[in-house]
Structure formats: structure tokens, C-alpha cells
Structure 1
Amino acid sequence: MPSVDSARQRLTDLLGPRTGRLLRPRNPYLRWLLWSTLASLACILLVDRQIVLFFYEHRTHWVYGFFQAITDIGMGTGWYILAVLTALAGTGGERFTLSVARALMWRRVRNAGLFLLASLLLSGIVMIAIKVLTGRLRPRYLFEDGSYAFQPLTFDTGMVGFPSGHTQTIFAVMTVFWLVLPQHRPLYLIVAVLVGFSRVVVGAHYLGDVVFAAFLSIALTVWLYERMVRRGLPCRLQRGGYVLPFFRRRTP
């Protein structure tokens, strides 16, 4: 069976050394961005229209009702409030406790709240910028008049949908939870995937919008986490392994 290295070498020989290097950059975040972009482009070109039309034409009451009920978990307001309250609680607990150990614990709580807030803000700002630049029309325009197009520099974010804001929010939140409360990781993954998929089922977004938003939030949140650790700002609240091999840097 051919190895991964031999497959990469064949790809490099086929495309040329320069193109081969572009397809496997050393920086893990560039690799993540590259492959997420390619995955989204594949969805846009091959399956986005068919999937969203399938759910629109085969809409059943109980399926639509279930996903409509959970899709609003991805709204940002409640998560921003949680982040601010957590940071304030940690600050107050650290200030008024008389125990050094408890002060350190409350400091972690404060940092976790700030981490959540920073992740939501950063991924949200980047998401809005990409929406404006790409201007991909939402599925409702496909349902109404068959429009399946991009209108770059469209500042009406309710009109454009790439990437998905609800997906960006829920994946940012669940990635934060994954890192600071690692004992319940399967639950975080299930919630994030269900909410992201709900955006396609209810006809608010294409699959490509959801895929790119998920990758975007994960990468930015992990990047923030690494910066906090390097600056000596611990925010983990439970023990657990930091298992995100996609972002491990290659050794030369």
C-alpha cells in the first residue's frame, strides 16, 4: 500500500514543485485555511445547490421543526452575555477570596470568559469581512427566482451568507469549551455539528457556508488559545489532553 509521503511526492511530480509546496505549507494554520477553502469550493461547485433544494422540496414538519428549534443555539447574544458574566465572576472571585488556591482558580475562570469573548469577537469580525467581500446570496434567492450567485462588496449581511454566522458562533463556543472543559468533548462536537447542519436544513445557508465557518472558527479559536498559553494566561478549568493534531507544526 503506498505511503502518504509517496502520494505527496506523486502529487508534487504531477503539479510541479512550486504548486506542491503551495498545497502543503508548513504553517498549520495556512494548511487549515487551504483545505477548508478547497472543501468549501467543492461544496459550492458540486453539491450546495442540490442539497439545499433537496431539503426545501422534501421538507417534513417534524424534521424542519426539530432543526428550527435548535438552530437558534447559534445566535451570538446569549454566548456574549455568558462570556462577560464569566469574566466578571472570575474577576470578583479572585479579588474577594482569601485563599491563594481559590484565587488561582478564579483567575482561570476570568481568563476562560475573556477567551470566549475574544474568540467570538475575532471570528465574528473575520466572518463579517468575508461576507462583505464574497457577497454570496443566501438560498432564499435560489428558492424565489433561481439566483445562485455572488455579489461581492454587498454590505447587507442579511442578504449574503458565506460564511454562516450561526455556525461561526457555535463552533467558536464549542471549541472554547473543548479546550477549557475537555471532559465533555463528544457533547460539544454533537452540538456544533447539529447546529451547523440545521442552517442547511432550514434553508438559511448552503453547506459550503457552514463548512468554511466551522473551519474558520476552529482555527481562530485554537490560535487565540495558543497565544493565551504563551502569555501565561491559563484558562483550562478541567484536566484533559490537548488533542488537536491538525495544528501541530511540522519539524524540519
Structure 2
Amino acid sequence: MPNLTARWPLGLTQKNWPNYVTVLVAVLFVLMFFDAYVSQSLMAWPDIWRGPFYFLTDFGLSDWVLIPSLIVMILALIGRFVLPAGYYRRASWELTMLASFIFVGVGAPGLLANGLKRLFGRGRPAEFLEHGAFAFRRILNDSTFQSFPSGHSTTAMATALVVGFVAPKFFQLFLLIAVMTGFSRIVIGMHYPTDVVAGFALGCIGAYAVRNFFAARRWLFARLPDGTIRFRGVPNLRRVWRLLTQRA
């Protein structure tokens, strides 16, 4: 379980990151020997077993997060200029920052994953019988050769961490959803295990990087003297919410 207040997860620092990259590469290398077996075995499950995973896999779609957060961000930003001065306007700014963090925290890792997909150009499991598990068409490719890393897994893990940073009590639930989403990508034949693991790593590091970027500017987060990063909260937004619910 990652420390949600640490600057980086699992003891990662600016000094030891090469060691972590080495370990990740080694893990992916070992998993490569099991990629085809695991993928083909899960794809061979009866349709009645695989059916629920076609539903679960949609939790990795970025549209569920990016579109609502973008709409809220734009409306809240407009509200900052049209609402009366005082805590209403401050609440609008807090909502703008919150929506922006969700949008960037999920969107940035996902965008990077899409770029890496095209760069690596790995064939998906559907191409296994014709091309094998290690067929590559780099840069100039279509979706059939954009398997590594898994974009759904990246988005799902980034979403879990973004939620965890601002509402830790929901983190375990969203982490479970992220893990099941990644597993579903293997079951339905869209990705190999290595694709999913790489996506999880990318989503994790990406979410922490965005959180650190916001903390460096004291947007939503504050870096404490002990090096931990804490969510500053949205007191004005909470106040407005209480007022609105009391009136209702």
C-alpha cells in the first residue's frame, strides 16, 4: 500500500530512482516469459466467466473522469469572476483547483501512455497466433499494435491515487477497482500482463508527479517540514455546500 503523504511511493527518491527502474525492468523481463501463457489461458475461459470483465474494463476509460472534471473546471473558473466576492468566490477557486487536479492527474499519465503505445508498437494478444507475443510496429501503427503499456490500467491507477490524495478513505475501493480493471484487460484479450504492470507503474508515478507539481505551488496541497505532502482541504467549498444543503 503506497504512502499517500510521501513525496514518492514505496520509498522512491531522487537518489535511488535508477534502482527502482532496474527492478521494474527486471520484473517486466521475467513476466515476459509468462505473457503468452497467461494471456491465452485467460482468454480461453468460458464466455460466462469472461462476461463480467467486459463491464469492469470500462472503468479504465478516461472519459468518465476527464469530461466531467473539465466541465466542472470551466464552470468553476467562470464562477470565480461572476460570483460575489468573499467565500463564494474563494469556493469557486477551490473547486477550479480540485477539478484541475483531477483532470491533469488522470489525463497526463494517460496522455503519456498513449504516446508510449505508439512508440513501442507492441502487437495485442489478438495478433499472437499470426505474429507472436513480441511483434512490434513502432510509431507508425494502429490500435492493433498499441498494447504496451495498457492505457486503461494507467488511467485506473492514476484515478485511484488522485482520489486517495484528496479523500484517503476511498482509496482502497478505487485501488481495488483499478486492479480489477487491469486484470480485465488481460481476460478480454486486449493486453498482456506486462502491459498492465507497466500501466500501473506509469499511472502511479504520473499521479504522484502531478500531485507534487501542485504542492510546489501550494495548489490544494502543502509540503510540510518533514517532507510529507498533505491535502490542504477546501474549507470555503465545504462552507458553501453546508449553506446550500441547509437551505434545501
Q: Considering the TM-score relative to the shorter chain, is it more than 0.5?
A: yes
Q: 2:143 aligns with which of 150, 153, 158?
A: 158
The one-letter code of the counterpart of 2:144 is M
**1:197 to partner: Cα distance:** 0.8
Which stretches of structure 1, 4 residues or more, deviate above 6 A after TM superposition?
Answer: none
Q: Please report how far the alpha carbon of residue 185 of structure 1 lies from its aligned counterpart in structure 2 after TM superposition.
A: 1.2
Do the aligned partners of 2:106 and 2:162 also contact (CA within 8 Å) in 1?
no
- Equivalent residue in structure 2 for 1:222, among 208, 212, 215: 208
TM-score (norm 1): 0.74
Q: Is the 8 A contact 1:32 1:219 kept in 2?
A: no
- Choose the corresponding residue for 2:62, options 76, 82, 99: 76
Q: In structure 2, the residue corresponding to 1:159 is in which secondary structure?
A: helix
Question: For the structure 1 residues 75 and 147, does the alpha-carbon distance in structure 2 shift closer, same or farther, using more than 3 Å as the test?
Answer: same
**Which residue of 40, 46, 65 corresponds with 1:53?**
40
TM-score (norm 2): 0.75
Q: Does 1:181 align with 2:171?
A: no
Secondary structure in structure 1 of the residue aligned to 2:144: coil
Q: How far 1:214 moved relative to its partner?
A: 0.7
Taking the aligned partners of 2:82 and 2:23, their CA distance within structure 1 comes to 47
Residue 218 (structure 2) aligned to one of 207, 229, 232: 232
Do the aligned residues in 2 keep the contact of 1:135 with 1:152 (CA within 8 Å)? yes
Structure 1 counterpart of 2:187, from 189, 196, 201: 201
Q: In the TM superposition, what is the alpha-carbon distance from 1:125 to its structure 2 partner?
A: 2.9
- CA RMSD across the alignment: 2.6
Which structure 2 residue ranges, 5 or more long, are not aligned? 1-11, 223-227, 231-248
1:126 Cα deviation from its structure 2 partner? 1.9
Using the alignment, how far apart are the partners of 2:72 and 2:15 within structure 1? 33
Tell me which residue corresponds to 2:23: 35
Aligned length: 213
- Alpha carbons of 1:42 and 1:27: their partners in 2 closer, same or farther (altered >3 Å)? same
The within-5 A match list for 1:123-162 is 123-142=109-128, 144-145=129-130, 147-160=132-145, 161-162=147-148
**Pair 32,103 (structure 1): closer, same or farther in 2 beyond 3 Å:** farther
- Deviations 1:175-234, CA, capped at 9 Å, x for gaps: 211112222111111111111110001111001000001111110110111111111211
- Structure 1: gaps of 5 or more residues: 1-23, 244-252
